[in-house]
Amino acid sequence: LAKTTQPISMDSYEGQEVNITCSHNNIATNDYITWYQQFPSQGPRFIIQGYKTKVTNEVASLFIPADRKSSTLSLPRVSLSDTAVYYCLVGFSGNTGKLIFGQGTTLQVKP
């Protein structure tokens, strides 16, 4: 399973767009890129998943360049409630679904 590297922490202000980049240099051909959000004392919540180019849903956008060695989670106009830890995961689990969680990026949104 590919290893990921992301910033330990980020600060932002309400209303700003936040971009969190994840590096995954040894991503494999079959690997997907998935982002989760976790609030304190809660289980991680799926945000978005992609394979290449751009994926957008009601919560976020995911930008993946052609070489797929990195990805960027974009959160539009963040609010205080977006303060959380964001995890980037890369892998193709086959039938087992094994995921490797890193330490994630702690996003602090300030008023």
Partner 1 sequence: SQTIHQWPATLVQPVGSPLSLECTVEGTSNPNLYWYRQAAGRGLQLLFYSIGIDQISSEVPQNLSASRPQDRQFILSSKKLLLSDSGFYLCAWSQGSETQYFGPGTRLLVL
Note the residues at the interface with partner 1 (CB under 8 A).
Answer: 34, 41-46, 49, 87, 92-104
Q: How far apart are CA 81 and CA 32, in angstroms?
A: 27
Tokens of 37: 């959000």
Q: Smallest gap, in angstroms, from Cβ of residue 96 to partner 1?
A: 6
Closest to partner 1 by CB, 45 or 54: 45
Nearer to partner 1, 16 or 102 (CB): 102
Task: Closer to partner 1 by CB, 13 or 39: give it.
Answer: 39
